[in-house]
Amino acid sequence: MATGEVAVLGVGMHPWGKWGRNFVEYGVKAARDALDDAGVDWKDVGFVAGGETIRNGYPGYVAGASIAAALGFNGAHVGSSYGACASGCQAISMARAQILAGVTDVALVVGADTTPKGFFAPTGGDRTDDPDWLRFRLLGATNPVYFGLYARRRMELYGDTVEDFANVKVKNSQCGAQNPNARYPKAFGIDDVLSSPMVSDPLRLLQICATSDGGAAMVLTSMDYARKHATNPVRLRGVSTVTPQYPNTNIEMPDFATDSAFAVPQPDVGYRDSIALRAYEQAGLGPEDMSMAEVYDLSSALELDWVEAIGVCEPGDAAKLLRAGDLSLGGRIPVNPSGGLGAFGEAIPAQAIAQVCELVWQIRGEAKGRQIENAKAGVTANMGLFGHGSSVVVTA
Amino acid sequence: MPKTRTLAIEGWFQDAPTPALIGTQCTSCQSIFFPPERTFCRNPGCVNDQFNDRPLSTTGKLWSYTTNNYQPPAPYVSPKEDYEPFAVAAVELEEEKMIVLGQVPDQVSIEQLEAGMEMELVVDTLFEDDDNEYVVWKWRPA
């Protein structure tokens, strides 16, 4: 049964880069753009949902309220959520629930971050009960180590090549070059990618997403409110924030091991596959209804895993689609038309929101230079450390 | 004075002469856990809180592997003054039906690794300080 739907009346971003300013600035800029885009007065916002960063003492100065304060407190209800890379989706989920519960007609969702240079690393101190700390200490397992393991596995299992992985980056960078909000608006060639320094074999620097400053925001409203303010508003049809089902037999960041399937058999649907599936179910739609996807390309190779996980093709076939041009602009189902994380870098609380912003621009025909013809519906997929699924389905 | 050989983490593995990862097994549903779970059974169909230690298989098949060409950030500590890249292995344990990560000893280069090959558990230096040689489990070709 399809769930209730809400409208995405407006979207906005602060360009992504390495600006070195307070995250609240990015969040406020993105929020004001989203409010302008929606034609909604800030005073009419009844709920503010903030995705949190954890790099500022208190989690993101408790993001929802910090951004509401900067916009000028208006008495709205507030919520702040942390789900690592899925934080933005948690904020979307909260906002949708408040609207469907009838608490308010208008909600503002904001995520913004300021990131340090280099590898993401755990917070300091001797924290020997924290798996995220221990994986650096005992394994030296950076995030790219996990990406490298996944990429090598695809090569061994499916025959994917380093050229395939490089061509994902080439494809996405062509879109990123047309995106004014992207951090790296540059089209790379395959030689650029394959001559960049090796980070975690077989992945090279240009195939691994950077860390970025940036912000993204959206205005969600009830369908009744939206119809009074816009013709054909984009509809938010599904939001998935699922956890894994025990035993999860895929090796996930920041874990040392998978669950064991010794006593309990692995579930019929694996974790990654379940994430978009639950959003499709809410929407009453399937992958065959999607005209595009924004997926979690922490590495170029990982994009191919997600293409399969969102049901576009069978496991192992994503590289064939890539080679046939099916995942490019003009292809059967363009993937990461924004340029993806490869062009943006990670601004953790913003990235799941930014994925939805791109789908909205595409559906409205406003993705200049990277527009997908006849874009009617799209899906996002993302995942946060420790078991935070993230997927959103939007349609015209 | 010789340095004290010290486990880099207590209760997760046992040192030579019989190196092994120490998993735990739920006394009710028999689920196996590594890192060792000693508080609550994480099988959603089980509410038990009693476990026995269970050394895990010391060999398995190489599921995948990669390298760390750049020095990881703290709390990683490089065993050498000049950082040297090392490999990380994901090894599938047939009996336990799980995959466990581990560093690969620095004598083994990535060219020597191939998915599906048999790997064995060893205990090797993680890093040293003035008084201690900290050791951890690693995977090397069997």
Q: Are residues A108 and A196 in the same domain?
A: no
Q: How far is CA A392 from CA A283, A308, B15, B39, B70, in A?
A: 9, 16, 48, 35, 35
Helix axes of A87-100 and A348-363: crossing angle, nearest 10 degrees: 60
Exposed e or buried b per residue across A354-381, where buried means at least 16 C-beta atoms within 10 angstroms of its C-beta: bbbbbbbbbbbeebeebbbeebebbbbb
Question: Considering the entire predicted model, what is its pTM?
Answer: 0.96
For residue B39, pLDDT beyond 80? yes
Q: Which residues of B touch A260 (CB under 8 A)?
A: 23, 31-34, 96-98
Percent of chain A's residues with pLDDT above 70: 98
Q: Which residues of A touch B97 (CB under 8 A)?
A: 249, 260-262
For chain B, the structural domain boundaries read: 58-141
Q: How far is A285 from chain B (nearest CA, A)?
A: 29
Q: How far is B27 from chain A (nearest CA, A)?
A: 11
For residues A89 and A203, what is the distance between their CA atoms, to the nearest angstrom? 28
Average of per-residue pLDDT across B66-81? 94
Virtual torsion, Cα A151, A153, A154, A158, nearest 10 deg? 160
Q: Are residues A219 and A255 in the same domain?
A: no
Q: Are residues A63 and A164 in the same domain?
A: no
Taking an 8 Å cut-off on Cβ atoms, the answer to whether A121 and B74 are in contact is: yes
Q: What's A74's domain CATH number?
A: 3.40.47.10
Q: Are residues A157 and A227 in the same domain?
A: no
Average of per-residue pLDDT across B38-58? 97
Task: Write down the pLDDT at residue A129.
Answer: 84
Taking an 8 Å cut-off on Cβ atoms, the answer to whether B8 and A124 are in contact is: no
Residue among A201, A395, A211 nearest A298 (CA): A211
Q: Are residues A141 and A201 in the same domain?
A: yes
For residue A61, pLDDT beyond 90? no
- pLDDT digits 0-9 by tens, A310-361: 999 999 999 999 999 999 999 999 999 999 999 999 999 999 999 999 999 9
Measured between CA atoms, the residue of chain A closest to residue B75 is A137
Taking an 8 Å cut-off on Cβ atoms, the answer to whether A139 and B103 are in contact is: yes
Q: Are residues A141 and A158 in the same domain?
A: yes
Q: Which of A145, A156, A249, A260 to mutate to test the interface with B (most CBs of B within 10 A)?
A: A260
Average of per-residue pLDDT across A172-196? 97
Under DSSP, the state recorded for B98 is: E
Average of per-residue pLDDT across A23-51? 97
Residue A55: band (very low, low, confident or very high) from pLDDT cuts 50, 70, 90: low
Measured between CA atoms, the residue of chain B closest to residue A132 is B75
Reported ipTM exceeds the 0.90 cut: yes
Identity of the residue in A131, A133, A152 whose CB atom sits nearest the CB atom of B75: A133
Q: Are residues A284 and A338 in the same domain?
A: yes
Identity of the residue in A126, A145, A257 whose CB atom sits nearest the CB atom of B100: A257
Q: How far is CA A83 from CA A93, A310, A394, in A?
A: 12, 20, 21
Q: Are residues A146 and A284 in the same domain?
A: yes
Query: How many other β-carbons are positioned within 10 Å of the β-carbon of residue B52?
Result: 10
CB pairs under 8 A between A and B: 143
Q: Are residues A176 and A200 in the same domain?
A: yes
- pLDDT digits 0-9 by tens, A289-299: 999 999 999 99
- pLDDT digits 0-9 by tens, A215-269: 999 999 999 999 999 999 999 999 999 999 999 999 999 999 999 999 999 999 9
Measured between CA atoms, the residue of chain A closest to residue B56 is A260
A250 located within any domain: yes
Task: Write down the pLDDT at residue A57.
Answer: 59
Average of per-residue pLDDT across A371-388? 95
- pLDDT digits 0-9 by tens, A102-160: 999 999 999 999 987 777 777 778 888 888 899 999 999 999 999 999 999 999 999 99
Taking an 8 Å cut-off on Cβ atoms, the answer to whether A138 and B29 are in contact is: no
A85 located within any domain: yes
Q: Are residues A271 and A353 in the same domain?
A: yes
Taking an 8 Å cut-off on Cβ atoms, the answer to whether B126 and A138 are in contact is: yes
Q: How far is B2 from chain A (nearest CA, A)?
A: 23
What the block records as the tokens of A168 is 């994902």
Residue among A197, A56, A48 nearest A115 (CA): A56
Q: Which residues of B touch A153 (CB under 8 A)?
A: 63-64, 90, 115
Task: Write down the pLDDT at residue A1.
Answer: 56
Taking an 8 Å cut-off on Cβ atoms, the answer to whether B44 and A246 are in contact is: yes
Task: Write down the pLDDT at residue B31.
Answer: 98
Measured between CA atoms, the residue of chain B closest to residue A197 is B69
C-alpha A146: how far from its chain's center? Answer: 18
Q: Are residues A147 and A107 in the same domain?
A: no
Residue among A157, A318, A248 nearest B64 (CA): A157
For residue A10, pLDDT beyond 90? yes
- Show the domain range for A194: 131-205+237-395
Identity of the residue in B9, B64, B99 whose CB atom sits nearest the CB atom of A257: B99
Task: Write down the pLDDT at residue A124.
Answer: 76
Taking an 8 Å cut-off on Cβ atoms, the answer to whether B35 and A257 are in contact is: yes
Q: Are residues A105 and A157 in the same domain?
A: no
Domain count for chain A, please give it: 2
Taking an 8 Å cut-off on Cβ atoms, the answer to whether B30 and A249 are in contact is: no
Q: Which residues is B88 bridged to in the sheet?
A: B66, B103
A148 located within any domain: yes
A126 located within any domain: no
For residue A382, pLDDT beyond 90? yes
A124 located within any domain: no
Task: Write down the pLDDT at residue A144.
Answer: 96
What the block records as the tokens of B7 is 């486990």
Percent of chain A's residues with pLDDT above 90: 90
A74 located within any domain: yes
- What secondary structure does DSSP assign to A207-274, as a single string? GB--B-EEEEEEEEE-HHHHHHH-SS-EEEEEEE-PPP-SS--S--TT-SBPPP-SSSPPPSS-HHHH
Q: How far is A131 from chain B (nearest CA, A)?
A: 9
A17 located within any domain: yes
A338 located within any domain: yes
